[in-house]
Amino acid sequence: MNPELYALSLVEWQFFASLTFKSERLSDAVRTRMFFALMRRQADNFGVHFLKTIWCLRTESGESTGRIHHHALIAGFPEHALTKATCFSFMKIWEQLGGGMARVSLYSPLLDGVGYVLKGGDEEYRRAGGDFYETRKFGGRCDVMLSKSVFGVIEGRRSIGVRRRRGQREAE
């Protein structure tokens, strides 16, 4: 199994998003900044620092039209944020930022959102004989971007949606 797929499947994702763009002429940097702006605004709405949000972002071209769009897995929000209303607010913010159509839903582990976002990665990993890094380091492009906070969750140092008070420690 692809190690990235396994590691990201350990995260308790809260939302799945598909985000399109009104214009095809936007640079990759502008598209990424739009996603960051979406996450910053929504984090601010729920009193969460942007750096505490957890996300996995993949940019891809559409199969039929070739239009570039994002798929994202999102977490790091408090439990009371897990509502359809929050999904609609993600969509509204995206449109206010100048994005195209947005579809955001509560994450269901039964639908394999991680596999969908990382689609193709498992086949590449198998085809490379398990040495995906070696096959991609010269000229390959990584289309998946992870928030820094993902690594704290994967390493077990952070719980999602749980705030600790200063000086409070977990039982060992």
In this predicted structure, the answer to whether residue 2 has a pLDDT above a threshold of 90 is no
167 belongs to a structural domain: no
| Token pair 């598909």: residue | 18
Return the pLDDT at 8: 82
Contacts of 115 (CB under 8 A, 6+ apart): 5, 122
CATH of the domain at 44: 3.30.70.260
Contacts of 124 (CB under 8 A, 6+ apart): 132, 135, 136
Range(s) of the domain holding residue 44: 3-154
Return the pLDDT at 23: 84
Domain count, the chain: 1
39 belongs to a structural domain: yes
172 belongs to a structural domain: no
Helix ranges (DSSP H) in 2-46: 3-9, 28-45
164 belongs to a structural domain: no
163 belongs to a structural domain: no
- In the chain, what are the helix, strand and coil shares in percent, each to the nearest 5? 40, 20, 40
44 belongs to a structural domain: yes
- Per-residue pLDDT tens digits for 77-101: 999 999 999 999 999 999 999 999 9
136 belongs to a structural domain: yes
In this predicted structure, the answer to whether residue 107 has a pLDDT above a threshold of 80 is yes
160 belongs to a structural domain: no
- Per-residue pLDDT tens digits for 7-64: 888 889 999 999 999 888 888 899 999 999 999 999 999 999 999 999 999 888 776 7
